[in-house]
Amino acid sequence: MKIFFILLPLLFSISFYAQDAELLKKIGARKDKDGNILLGKAFIRKDDRSISFPGRINVREGVIEVLVSTPRGRMHESLIVTELDPFQLQMALVLAGYDNGDITRGAPFHIEIIYGKFRRINVDEWLYDSTAGKPKEKGTYVFVGSSFKDKQCLASLEGNLININSLDKSTILNAALSPKSALHEYIVRKEKMPEAGLKNRESPLEGYEETPVRVILVPVVTPADTGKNGKREMAPAEGPKTK
């Protein structure tokens, strides 16, 4: 990911001013007629600055520590798997104008999931805090940003996009947990997830059929960001439009 250091000044200039088509082209992004931006598989929605990308359910039961990873990541403990490069998610967040930082300073998001016929839920509804003995409280996930070593994006090398309780420097977002709750064990609430059949009824070890989902990073809204009714306008359950 050596190109990051070349593109970083461009990203800040694009996010601060109106997005220029030529500059977007240089980083491999493009803008549709509505002003939405597609960077790799990451879709930046202009109206609410939400960012979404496709994935699939990976782990349906047991302990997880990673919310979203790539196939090269910790798939044995990752709830969702995506083909989106973590580095591109980091670029999309910067492009959308978000700042990264530690848990107390980075831009916070709610993580929502679309599945089936446009069913939309908060991803924390699928998790159970086995240490506390209750469903995981709905919380936020913070743009901490990946560290780089030898000009390589560590999140891309390790395959992490969104972590739950590992406060390392090799992920893009991490759950905003207290030091105490960061040590808790989180398991999947299988009964809350969409049903999926076995790939082979005669061999359960082959796993379940794939269930596609869309992961949405919804920016946390402050009172100043809300309308007169004090409520955030929900973004439609959609990604980039296809012709």
Return the domain boundaries, the chain: 53-222
* 215, 51 Cβ separation under 8 angstroms: no
Amino acid at residue number 235: A
User: Which residues are within 8 A (CB) of 15 and not within 5 positions of it... i.e. 6 or more apart?
Assistant: 94, 95, 96, 97
- Specify the pLDDT at position 183: 86
Task: Compute the distance between CA of residue 24 and CA of residue 40 in angstroms, rounded to an integer.
Answer: 12
- Specify the pLDDT at position 181: 80
* Lookup: tokens for 234: 């929900």
β-partners of residue 143 are: 173
* Strand-strand pairing, 108-115 and 141-143: antiparallel
- Specify the pLDDT at position 118: 83
- Specify the pLDDT at position 232: 42
pLDDT band for position 229 (cuts 50, 70, 90): very low
pTM of the model: 0.83
pLDDT band for position 225 (cuts 50, 70, 90): low
pLDDT tens by residue, 193-221: 998 877 666 676 666 778 999 999 999 97
* Lookup: tokens for 225: 């960001």
Q: To which H or E segment does residue 86 belong? A: helix 86-95
pLDDT band for position 19 (cuts 50, 70, 90): low
Query: C-alpha angle with apex 86: 163 to 212, nearest 5 degrees?
Result: 75
Q: What is the DSSP letter of 198?
A: B
CB crowding 42-71: b at 16 or more within 10 Å, else e: bbbbeebbbbbbbbebbbbeeebbbbbbbe
At residue 73, φ and ψ (nearest 5 deg) are: -90, -160
- Specify the pLDDT at position 9: 47
User: Which residues are within 8 A (CB) of 241 and not within 5 positions of it... i.e. 6 or more apart?
Assistant: 32
- Specify the pLDDT at position 241: 58
Residue whose entry in the numeric block shows the structure tokens 């939400």: 50
* Lookup: tokens for 191: 């009964």
Distances 243 to 32, 42, 65, 177 between C-alpha atoms, Å: 12, 18, 38, 41
* Lookup: tokens for 202: 């005669």
